[in-house]
């Protein structure tokens, strides 16, 4: 009996966190590395990220942003130049103190993000208003020393993209902040995941930013996952690093800057938004294998006939990512279980009965149903299913999210089972601190559109003072 058959996956209802770790292991996505807090991403897990990355990179480049690369080592003095920035990241910094067999006079940090690594160079590249806007993005690894690591969601080293842009005016910069937020929301839609978009509170915004906007995703245990952020930095960093330009008026002006990023935390969100007790459920867009063909036979004669039939089917579906599982000495049942665990959206089962009937038995992972399809109709049906499966997973996630956001008027209504809620809030930082201390919750966002609306309740749900807006709150990963 194989290791896979011996192991079981914890049910989500019993222990969601353990279910997540079981899926990471059994679906062969990643495993723990020798370095504490870091992970080894296996080919299947990395392919999911690469499919997300490819789509996001296309959208970024289509919008006119160019890719660039800066070193991963940052002089400590660069980080210390922006007070709020270094305070925000100091607990997570990994610092290089020795190199070349000697202690370094000037210590180096491994980038926790790249504002301090890039903006001194930006100051050299930008001289005139003719050099603006400068819109660059880099795909990079980041190190933030995590005390409580979790695969994909919170590793000490992770992969992401980070955009860093400079504009002449505040209005142009703020327009981009919203545009990028929309791109991130669309990327989650590409993964069949609904995302909530909005503004972070003063306490929760990016260190050194004027405003931070976020896309938030709900996992199947009801917790929030910060799926990507877009920051308006104002001139905070520009003034520190002298990112300035000579305007058409002949005067010196500081650039208005943005930074924005989405990481492979999105892979964790994908697992948590769609997975069930049997394993992953992957939307076709981000499935490393979109269709798996499982041949079923009893003897060599049947094997040849079935495999030839399977190969012809694969060739007819070459526009998709298709795999024939012809591994010997494994039962069809084992293979079914294995590919369901790995979340392959469509499985085609082929035995002699299917060959003689010029048909296939088709299984769809999103709703665990089977149907018989004639090979003459297969291409058409697959084309339909790719859309149906994506739509179905999105709709399921959207309905789940909507049904798990409760409206409350007082924090006395919060109980241990409540993980997301909407409430009218005074936006007082001290009250948010109290909420975190008592319930391990913070604000997730002020939803887009709510900035211009009056709150449903005039009183803050925590303090009873005047409320400013309706916010979303949640426990989070």
Residue 97: give its domain's CATH number. Answer: 3.30.930.10
Are 468 and 426 in contact, with CB atoms under 8 Å apart? yes
Pairing of β 134-143 and β 291-295? unpaired
How many CB atoms lie under 10 A from the CB of residue 390? 20
The answer to the question of residue 400 being in a domain is: no
Residues 132 and 152 in one domain: yes
Whether residue 420 is predicted with pLDDT greater than 60 in this model: the reply is: yes
Give the pLDDT confidence score for residue 343 in this predicted structure: 98
Instruction: Provide mean pLDDT across the span 61-79.
Output: 95
Q: Does pLDDT of 2 surpass 70?
A: no
pLDDT at 306 over 70: yes
Q: What is the pLDDT of residue 102?
A: 95
Task: Check whether residue 73 and residue 155 sit in a common domain.
Answer: yes
**Residue 173 pLDDT:** 98
Q: Indicate the average pLDDT of the chain.
A: 95
**380 pLDDT band (50/70/90 cuts)?**
very high
Is 113 a member of any domain? Answer: yes
In degrees to the nearest 10, what's the CA dihedral of 369, 370, 371, 372?
170
pLDDT in tens, 433-448: 999 999 999 999 999 9
398 lies in some domain: no
Stretch (H or E) spanning 384: helix 375-403
Helix (H) or strand (E) holding 8: none
Query: Averaged over 396-416, what is the pLDDT?
Result: 94
Going by their DSSP bridges, the two strands 134-143 and 157-167 should be labelled as antiparallel
- pLDDT, residue 85, reads 66
Say yes or no to pLDDT of 4 above 50. Answer: no
Establish if 70 belongs to a structural domain.
yes
Domain annotation covers residue 314: yes
Q: Residues 338, 265: one domain?
A: no
N-terminal to C-terminal alpha carbon distance within the chain: 36
Are 188 and 68 found together in one domain?
A: yes
Contact 237, 293 (CB under 8 A): no
Question: 322: part of which helix (H) or strand (E)?
Answer: strand 322-324
Q: What percent of the chain has pLDDT over 70?
A: 97
Condensed to tens digits (0 to 9), the pLDDT of residues 127-183 reads: 999 999 999 999 999 999 998 999 999 999 999 999 999 999 999 999 999 999 999
Residues 193, 162, single domain; the answer is yes
- Residue count (the chain): 477
Q: Over the stretch 19-61, which tens digit does the pLDDT of each residue have?
A: 999 999 999 999 999 998 999 999 999 999 999 999 999 999 9
Q: Examine the fold and report which residue of 216, 248, 274 is the final residue of a domain before the chain moves on.
A: 274
Q: What is the C-alpha to C-alpha distance for residues 423 and 55, in angstroms, rounded to an integer?
A: 35
CATH of the domain at 423: 3.30.110.30
Structural domain containing residue 364: 284-393
Same domain, 128 and 48: yes
Q: How much is the pLDDT for 7?
A: 60
Asked if the model's pLDDT at residue 80 lies above 70, the reply is yes
Sole residue written with tokens 């008026």: 249
Question: 214 and 108 in one domain?
Answer: yes
Residue 401 lies in a domain: no
pLDDT tops 80 at residue 83: no
Task: Indicate the residue among 248, 274, 300 that finishes a domain.
Answer: 274
Does 82 score more than 80 pLDDT? no
In terms of domains, do 330 and 385 share one? yes
Question: 439, exposed or middle or buried, with CB in 10 Å at 0-12, 13-18, 19+?
Answer: middle
Lowest mean pLDDT among 129-133, 289-293, 325-329: 325-329
CATH number at residue 349: 3.40.50.800
On whether both 112 and 254 belong to a single domain, the answer is yes
Question: In this structure, are 210 and 80 located in the same domain?
Answer: yes
Residue found by looking up tokens 């922006």 in the block: 82
Residue 279 lies in a domain: no
Q: What percent of the chain has pLDDT over 90?
A: 91
At 86, the pLDDT band (50, 70, 90 cuts) reads: low
Same-domain status, 9 and 104: yes
Count how many Cα atoms sit within 13 Å of the Cα of residue 49 in the half-sphere of its side chain: 21
Packed helices 375-403 and 265-274: angle between N→C axes, nearest 10 degrees: 100
Residue 88: which pLDDT band, with cuts at 50, 70 and 90? low
In this structure, the answer to whether residues 78 and 187 fall within a common structural domain is yes
Angle at 137 between CA 256 and CA 122, to 5 degrees: 50
Query: Within a domain: residue 111?
Result: yes
The pLDDT score that the predictor gives to residue 92 is: 86
Question: How many domains are there within the chain?
Answer: 3
Domain boundary, last residue among 228, 251, 274: 274
């Amino acid at each position: 009996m194989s290791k896979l058959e011996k192991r079981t996956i914890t049910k989500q209802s019993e222990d969601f966190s353990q279910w997540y770790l079981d899926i990471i292991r059994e679906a062969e996505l990643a495993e723990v590395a020798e370095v504490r807090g870091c992970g080894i991403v296996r080919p299947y897990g990395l392919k999911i990220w690469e499919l997300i990355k490819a789509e996001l990179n296309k959208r970024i480049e289509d919008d006119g942003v160019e890719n660039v690369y800066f070193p991963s080592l940052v002089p400590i003095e660069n980080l210390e130049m922006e007070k709020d920035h270094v305070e925000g990241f100091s607990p997570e910094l990994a610092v290089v103190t020795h190199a070349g067999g000697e202690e370094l006079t000037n210590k180096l940090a491994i980038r926790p993000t790249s504002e301090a690594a890039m903006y001194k160079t930006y100051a050299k590249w930008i001289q005139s208003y003719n050099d603006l806007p400068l819109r660059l993005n880099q795909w990079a690894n980041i190190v933030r020393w995590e005390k409580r690591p979790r695969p994909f969601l919170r590793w000490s080293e992770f992969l992401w993209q980070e955009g860093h842009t400079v504009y002449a005016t505040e209005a142009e910069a703020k327009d981009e902040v919203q545009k990028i937020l929309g791109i991130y929301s669309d990327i989650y839609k590409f993964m069949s995941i609904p995302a909530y978009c909005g503004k972070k509170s003063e306490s929760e915004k990016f260190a050194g930013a004027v405003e931070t906007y976020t896309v938030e995703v709900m996992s199947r245990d009801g917790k929030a996952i910060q799926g990507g952020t877009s920051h308006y930095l104002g001139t905070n960093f520009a003034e520190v690093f002298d990112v300035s330009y000579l305007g058409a008026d002949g005067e010196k002006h500081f650039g208005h800057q943005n930074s924005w990023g989405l990481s492979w935390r999105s892979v964790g969100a994908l697992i948590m938004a769609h997975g069930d007790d049997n394993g992953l459920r992957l939307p076709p867009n981000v499935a490393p294998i979109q269709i798996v063909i499982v041949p079923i036979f009893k003897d060599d004669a049947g094997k040849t006939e079935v495999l030839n039939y399977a190969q012809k089917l694969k060739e007819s579906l070459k526009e998709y990512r298709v795999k024939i599982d012809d591994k010997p000495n494994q039962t069809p049942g084992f293979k079914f279980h294995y590919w369901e665990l790995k979340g392959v959206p469509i499985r085609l089962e082929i035995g002699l009965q299917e060959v003689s009937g010029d048909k296939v038995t088709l299984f769809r992972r999103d709703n665990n149903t089977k149907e018989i399809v004639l090979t003459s109709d297969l291409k058409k049906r697959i084309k339909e299913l790719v859309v149906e499966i994506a739509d179905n997973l999105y709709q399921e996630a959207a309905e789940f999210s909507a049904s798990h956001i409760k409206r409350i008027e007082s924090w006395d209504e919060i109980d241990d089972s409540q993980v997301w809620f909407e409430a009218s809030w005074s936006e007082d930082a001290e009250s948010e601190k109290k909420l975190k201390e008592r319930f391990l919750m913070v604000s997730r966002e002020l939803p887009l559109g709510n900035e211009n609306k009056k709150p449903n309740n005039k009183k803050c749900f925590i303090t009873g003072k005047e409320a400013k807006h309706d916010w979303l709150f949640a426990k989070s990963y």
